[in-house]
Amino acid sequence: MKLLILGGTRFLGRHLAQQALQAGHELSMLHRGRSAGGLFPEAEHLIADRDREGEFAAALAGGAWDAVIDTSAYLPRQVQAAAAALAGRVGQYHLVSTISVYAGFDAAVTDEGAPLQVLPDPGVQVVDGSSYGGLKALCEAAAYEGFEDGCLVSRPGLLVGPFDPTGRFTWWVQRFVRADSGDDDETEVLAPGEPTTPVQFIDARDAAAWMLHQAEAGHRGTYNLTGPESPATMGELLAAARDTLAPTSQLLWVDEDFLLARGVAPWSDLPVWLPQAQSGVHRVDITRALDTGLQCRPWAQTLRDTAVWAASAAPPALGGPLRPQVGLAPEREADLRAAWRER
């Protein structure tokens, strides 16, 4: 198969590229050449900025692909430019969207037919926390309009694993590695809220494998894309992290009201975790993805591989970990544990 990735050098795209080459596909990648130079010499690298339409169209001119996977579109005009440059010369166009497109997560489970966000100003050009989901919803509409003969939209939940630039899931991995370090102050890990709170995330390598399979199969339509295959809980995640990375550590479950009252921010101070009232984000229906071949690897493998990658001393430009500021500092976590015990 001739495959084009619009992106492909950072995280999800990087796993896609690696798996596509391993499977023997003929790979082209369009990016600006800024991240991870020298990666994938076997692929054709089309160096262009997709925000410069002339440059973007020129880089793609004359090419034809069986499938295109677009990991780097955040604005509808970027999808429109892709359609203008590629329509009629590709089999399947796959837009990587997000579950953040949904207007809310109040339902027992959120399936692909749930209402989408509508932006007050659809012309907004700034991608931030308030516009990201609504803009991706507009990207989806532009994709279906521009590639009406063959459009697939995936809506990933939280992507995790090696090369994750956000540091969110990685923070928990590093927290359990510290719990195993022999430092007595670190062996007890603050576990937020209730062990029964639902949790969903997907190893980016499993998302990439499913995406490649969709390209090979030529499927169409919209698919939520997260894991694990069966519903799971925060309690199961933290127990798996403990058993895999720090078997002698203990979990100290701290009530969510206690944490919220002390200004602990769900998702950023304690990544992945959301309080019960917001936990619908972790109850997305993935039946369609499972029916089309999604397979999720065991958590222990994701935890171990992420730990190995996070311990790498390589600089980000060579695939080493970024060090984003997410997650509680050790001292703040220790203070919270002490305050919980003294309450």
Please give the residue ranges that form the binding site for ligand NAP (CB under 6 A). Answer: 7-14, 31-35, 49-51, 71-72, 96, 98, 156, 158-159, 166
Tokens (6 digits) for 122: 């659809």
Burial of 250 (0-12, 13-18, 19+ CB in 10 A): exposed
Query: What sign does the CA torsion over 39, 41, 42, 45 have?
Result: positive
Amino acid found at 196: T
Distance CA 302, CA 340 (A): 31
Specify the residue for token string 């995640």: 237
CB 247 → ligand NAP: shortest distance, Å? 28
Which helix (H) or strand (E) element contains residue 253?
strand 250-254
Tokens (6 digits) for 44: 């054709």
Q: Which is nearer to ligand NAP, 96 or 234 (CB)?
A: 96
CB 88 → ligand NAP: shortest distance, Å? 22
Q: Which is nearer to ligand NAP, 167 or 192 (CB)?
A: 167
Q: Which is nearer to ligand NAP, 160 or 254 (CB)?
A: 160
Q: Which is nearer to ligand NAP, 8 or 192 (CB)?
A: 8
- Would you call 178 helix, strand, or coil by DSSP? helix
Q: Which is nearer to ligand NAP, 159 or 303 (CB)?
A: 159
Q: Which is nearer to ligand NAP, 48 or 336 (CB)?
A: 48
Q: Which is nearer to ligand NAP, 159 or 336 (CB)?
A: 159
Tell me the CA distances in angstroms from 285 to 86, 140, 228, 270, one per residue in order.
Answer: 32, 19, 11, 24
CB 338 → ligand NAP: shortest distance, Å? 32
Q: Report H helices in the chain.
A: 12-22, 53-60, 76-86, 132-146, 168-179, 204-217, 234-245, 256-261, 287-291, 299-310, 330-342
Query: What sign does the CA torsion over 102, 103, 105, 106 have?
Result: negative
> Which residue's CB atom is positioned nearest to ligand NAP?
13
User: CA torsion, points 167, 169, 174, 177, in degrees to nearest 10?
Assistant: -160
State the distance between the two ends of the chain, measured CA to CA, in whole angstroms: 62
CB 126 → ligand NAP: shortest distance, Å? 15
CB 166 → ligand NAP: shortest distance, Å? 6
Q: Which is nearer to ligand NAP, 17 or 254 (CB)?
A: 17
Q: Which is nearer to ligand NAP, 203 or 256 (CB)?
A: 203
Please list, residue by residue across 268-284, b when 16 or more beta carbons sit within 10 angstroms of its beta carbon and e when fewer do: ebbbbbbbeeebbbbeb
CB 266 → ligand NAP: shortest distance, Å? 16
CB 207 → ligand NAP: shortest distance, Å? 8
CB 35 → ligand NAP: shortest distance, Å? 4
CB 170 → ligand NAP: shortest distance, Å? 11
